[in-house]
Structure 1
Amino acid sequence: MTNSKINYVPNDDFQSTTETDLDALDIELYAAEDRPLARDPKLVAESFLCAVEQSRLLTFEGEQYLFKRLNFLRFRASALQATLGNKRNTKKTDREIERLLKDAAETREQIACANLRLVTSISQKLSLSRDEFEEFLAESNAILLNAIDKFDYARGYRFSTYATHAVQRNLFRVIEKRNKRRKLESCEEVALHAATAPAANPEEPSGQDVLSAFESIMSRIDQVLDSREQFIVRERFGLDGIGKGKSLREIGEELGISKERTRQLFQRSIEKLAEIAKPFEAIFASV
């Protein structure tokens, strides 16, 4: 343990602070609460909900104190670790480092427990099933611990704001990757079915063939086009459910560029899409 690097968020006050100073502080850690936590018994495991209900929300002063204590203890452990090569009595120093890190871990756990409601609420809002909720919750708890390690309390912000952004950003990425994977798998399944099903007329592709080819290409559009090129293609063909497509002039006005520049970008985008559409050339040639 003492050989591993001890990470902490630095603060200028640590040099002049002692554990006694921290212990002497009279801080109201937890906020008074009148409202019980709402829960959905169909979604959340009872044992976890009990733990959530038992957790209490920190006051701003309590939050500041715990984060200061966490990082100060790690700072002291790191400082002692740096002296190990210069001391004979390393066993005593090792024991002190272990004690400091144990106290720091308990403080970190105290902060995490006080934010169980936050990660549970975010996971509930973004999940569509119990299995998905449990997966999101596991992800959120890992992100929460990482956020605790990186949060700089000295900036004066509430940790809940920082943690909410971190957890939501991570879960949005998980959802986006899953949706892309499902869409691609669906397109591949449809394409496979179309390839194995008997065709009424091999010279003439069915509407399903065309749709499958189109969806397969669109599922990869963000891999070959940048955001502006995607916007031009979608607006030109009305692919976002807005009705008929727009003229190059209208699109150019929205982007703040000329009609000619819009046409150039549109043509370049079509050429890029043509590269990934090569496996379906026979289908589109017959349309």
Structure 2
Amino acid sequence: MPKTVPTSARRPVSPSEAKSPAPKRASDFPARRPGWMNSDELAEAVAEVASDLVDYQSMSDAELRIATKRRLKAEIDFIANDNFTKPGCGQEVFGESLELAPRQTSLGIAAIRKSGIDLPVHLSRLCEAPLLKPDQERMLFQRMNFLLQHASMHRALLNPDRPSRRRLELIDEMIRLAEWHRDRIVEANLRLVFSIVKKFVNTNNGFDELLSDGIVALIRAVEKFDFDRGFRFSTYATQVVRRNSYRTVVVNQEERQKVAGGIQDMDIDISDDERTSAISEKRWHELRSRLAVMLNDLDRREKLIIRARFSLGSHRKVRTLQSLADRLGVSKERVRQLERRAMDKLRAMAGDVKLAELEA
């Protein structure tokens, strides 16, 4: 006869526990489109992302396995929330009306005028989205992370040996919908980026570069912001964009100093404040010719590094050690070592060809 637990020994169950079902596990998510994705609140976003979705139905089995492995390698970053896995949460998240205001041309023009910088008119289109109300901001962050968390749950169920077209389509659509909500947050905060980066603009740091870096920093801030903490996003974003702009200015200054130091090591005079040539045009062309010959004596990696570090040839801007490390597939320190070795070779070759004879 089965043993029963006396009523007096049972733990009391609160009304909230009695009514709240247990959260779903990953294995509880079938590879079918959930009902909340048919919400009227998602209709506009669904229509906009439809053209960006991958056609998995036309893929062969081999292509499908490759696509599955690729999706498994790509991490999905989001701010997790235990409530997102509870039954009925989707209807709750998308049940409230977002009511985003339409874009306004006047807002973009006003942002350009307030910048105090002579900017192309087309940039005004970046600032046409109205500011978000606190409730709209909270809902956008909630929906973005809800979609990404559900995409991650489905991603955990992928099997390269038994790929599922329907699940891949579902993951792809959820991620695109999350990006749609992210973009609405970014658009509404671009005027904030304008107001911050313009303070760092000078003769050595152009607005375009600072703006592009600032937008990238803003996107990262959106992806890392935890809306549950109760702070407004603009407070967090201001610190992120300002810190990124300051870092850009510092890196640019360091790069200019390195370039100046490298040229001085090769005995080229750059001290003239008005940047007039210290040698005649004929001598300058001779110097460039000999420098080209010397560069050809370097190996492929050394030649690439010197040209990129000193903005020679097709390189229109100085490249950082990290960007070269990423391109060559080596460490940043290894690039530094290769640069030092190449400079030593150039100095030795400069002594051999007696570059001093080229001086005016």
- Report the TM-score, using the length of structure 1 for normalisation: 0.58
Partner of 2:92: 21
2:189 aligned with 1:119? no
Is the aligned partner of 1:106 residue 2:177? no
Contact 1:29/1:59 (<8 A) preserved: no
Task: Give the CA RMSD over aligned residues.
Answer: 3.4
Relative to its length, the structure with more helix (as a share) is 1
CA positional deviation for 1:9: 0.9
Map of 2:71 onto structure 1: 2
Task: Name the SS for the 2:245 alignment partner.
Answer: helix
| Contact 1:57-1:115 within 8 A present in 2 as well | yes
Q: Is the 8 A contact 1:14 1:72 kept in 2?
A: yes
1:91 to 149, 160, 165: 165
- The corresponding residue for 1:11 is 81
Contact 2:83–2:89 (CA<8 Å) still a contact in 1?
A: no
Give 1:81's match in structure 2, choosing from 140, 155, 172.
155
CA distance in 1: counterparts of 2:242 and 2:259, whole angstroms: 25
Equivalent residue, structure 2, for 1:240: none
**Offset at 1:172?**
0.8
1:128 has 2:231 as partner: no
Q: 1:47 aligns with which of 119, 122, 131?
A: 122
Q: CA deviation at 1:157?
A: 0.8
Structure-1 separation of matches of 2:119 and 2:160: 53
Bigger Cα displacement from structure 2, 64-73 vs 125-134:
125-134
CA distance in 2, matches of 1:63, 1:144: 15
Are the structure 2 counterparts of residues 140 and 185 from structure 1 closer, same or farther at C-alpha, using a change threshold of 3 Å? Answer: same
Query: Which segments of 5 or more consecutive residues in structure 1 lack a partner in the other structure?
Result: 197-287
Q: Quote the Cα distance in structure 2 between the aligned partners of 1:182 and 1:120.
A: 25
> How many pairs does the alignment contain?
194
Shift of 1:84: 2.3
**Cα distance in 1 between the residues matched to 2:268 and 2:223:** 50
Q: 1:71-118, CA deviations, whole angstroms, 9 ceiling, x for partnerless residues?
A: 100000110111223996811111111111111111111111111101
The percentage of aligned residue pairs carrying the same residue is: 29
User: Within 2, Cα distance between the matches of 1:179 and 1:88?
Assistant: 53
| TM-score normalised per structure 2 | 0.47
Provide the secondary structure at the position in 2 that maps to 1:84.
Answer: coil
Counterparts of 2:131 and 2:156 in 1: how far apart (Å)? 36
Q: Shift of the alpha carbon at 1:171?
A: 1.2
State the alpha-carbon separation in 2 of the partners of residues 87 and 71 from structure 1: 29
State the one-letter code of the partner of 1:71: N
How far did 1:41 drift? 7.5
CA gap of 1:98–1:193, structure 2 versus 1, over 3 A, is closer
Judging changes above 3 Å, is the alpha-carbon distance between structure 1 residues 89 and 188 closer, same or farther for their aligned structure 2 residues? closer
Shift of 1:190: 7.8
What corresponds to 2:233 in structure 1? 159
Q: Distance in 2 between matches of 1:158 and 1:79?
A: 28
Task: Kindly indicate whether the alpha-carbon contact (under 8 Å) linking 2:197 and 2:214 is maintained by their aligned counterparts in 1.
Answer: yes
Counterpart selection for 1:145 from 206, 212, 219: 219
CA spacing shift, 1:176–1:86, aligned 2, 3 Å = closer
Q: For structure 2, which runs of at least 5 residues remain unmatched after alignment?
A: 1-69, 272-360
Indicate which of 243, 249, 271 corresponds to 1:175: 249
CA contact 1:73–1:103 (8 Å) conserved in 2: yes
**Structure 1 position 125, deviation (Å):** 1.7
Task: Write out aligned runs for 1:29-40 (5 A).
Answer: 29=100, 36-37=110-111, 39=113, 40=115
CA drift of 1:27 comes to: 4.2
Q: Distance in 2 between matches of 1:71 and 1:130?
A: 39
Tell me, in whole angstroms, the C-alpha distance in 2 between the residues paired with 1:28 and 1:99.
22
Question: After superposition, what is the alpha-carbon deviation per residue over 1:146-176, rounded to whole angstroms, capped at 9, x for unaligned?
Answer: 1111111111111111111111111111212
Q: 2:135 aligns with which of 36, 61, 68?
A: 61
Distance (whole Å) between structure 2 residues aligned to residue 29 and residue 6 of structure 1: 26
